[in-house]
Structure 1
């Protein structure tokens, strides 16, 4: 694969679960769509080989990487093993947002955290701490997420009402930072 292939590959990888369109890739790389399509075909051919654990697919006009079926059992074991018992700070933050605000979409979680949450949601789903609980009626009909009984067991909660209260955030508009005369 040439350097242009590696750029396209990287962009598809960075697009995560949402994937990206041919038009987005062509625009990002300042290339003709037909040229990008040829590079994508090379990428897809490469990742179809048995030596890779994931592949490049096109679903609904969006290119993305997905794991191959052959790794699913091992992935399940990885995420449910006792070695993975502790959660990272990012996973705990994502889980807390879902617990306090459920049900909510991935985009709503990302707006609160300020970072992409695809991987954290996948990890929490794989560990059965959250689940999909429907879809919104909005564009794209994104999934809604909520915590599971396993979450309740893991944190020894009978009800979400037992979660600690969140500290109140006080906004003081009279502070030195906000003067009426300031021009923004």
Structure 2
């Protein structure tokens, strides 16, 4: 099979894998080619997507490859979410998202201990918007669900990895006295201000 055809199929697989994404090993197995060929194909795709007239890019998150939108276009996706049919997130949801972003993986109970209030509704809001996802279960009594940020979280805030999160002040610990939303959304607060309805 020619490299151009392999590249086209790999691109299709990246698209078809959706939010779950696909690993290098899966691509090797499906296309029945060695790792070196897949790496070459991905570099070719990354070069193609690097052009200004392309709106997509390949992102690697936790060892999984995703086809996603470019961070530099994130303001337009925020505008899409702010259209009349899309409600802005409440302060409670923003605070919960900040806690999860910095403390992940984290359980709902642990979120509530930090916030000092019940957090069922904010967590459900974030899940419905695909900004967070279940990442497993904690090895403790009851095996509670662990939550972490999703690929859509990175896309929404124009990040390519969690390493790009703005750092917390060295002297600040996230606890009930810390305004996590202010810390986390320092660079995004113009877009994210909303009324606390949740």
The TM-score with structure 1 as length reference comes to 0.47
State the TM-score, normalized to the length of structure 2.
0.44
- Which one has a bigger Cα radius of gyration? 1
